[in-house]
Amino acid sequence: MKRRHREREIAARDIANWDEVRKYIATQFDKMVALYRRQYGHLFTTTWWYESEWCPCCGRRPVGLWANPEGQTALSLNGWIYRERQVLIGYLLCRRCVEDLTRASPAQEITMHRQIEGRLRAAYQQALGAGS
């Protein structure tokens, strides 16, 4: 069972043109920012992209592309508004955490979102410290 899931994941090294994927993600993030700005623009003044290759939910698996059940390439692009810093943080999740979130109970979902927010908060603060 586990082997089948691993085969569905698409490793970065297997993607022929990773630069094109990054451009696509950047374009989709820009669209997401525009949507968030219309809906929640009063809550953030800037944006930041979480660049780690590791999932901010589990911290154990790499983020990236995978094949969905229909055989199409998929990714999970998300955003979180860090209100204390007024920043919209964009991030990707690994396939496993996306699947777990869709099946999670409300209590499990809250726990998972708290993990994501904690890791994003720490990464953003670390990036601010490194930039000073």
Q: What are 57-102's pLDDT values in tens digits?
A: 999 999 988 887 888 888 899 999 999 999 999 999 999 999 999 9
Q: What value does the mean pLDDT of the chain take?
A: 87
Give the pLDDT band (50/70/90) at residue 114.
very high
Residue 7 above 50 pLDDT? no
What percent of the chain lies above the pLDDT cut of 70? 86
What pLDDT is recorded for position 16?
A: 60
130 vs 15: CA distance, rounded Å: 31
Residue 40 amino acid letter: Y
Q: Of 86, 93, 87, give the one whose Cα is nearest residue 113.
A: 93
Please tell me the least confidently modeled range out of 10-14, 40-44, 45-49.
10-14
Range list of β-strands (E), the chain: 46-49, 66-67, 73-74, 76-82, 87-93
Q: Tokens 């999932």 correspond to what residue?
A: 55
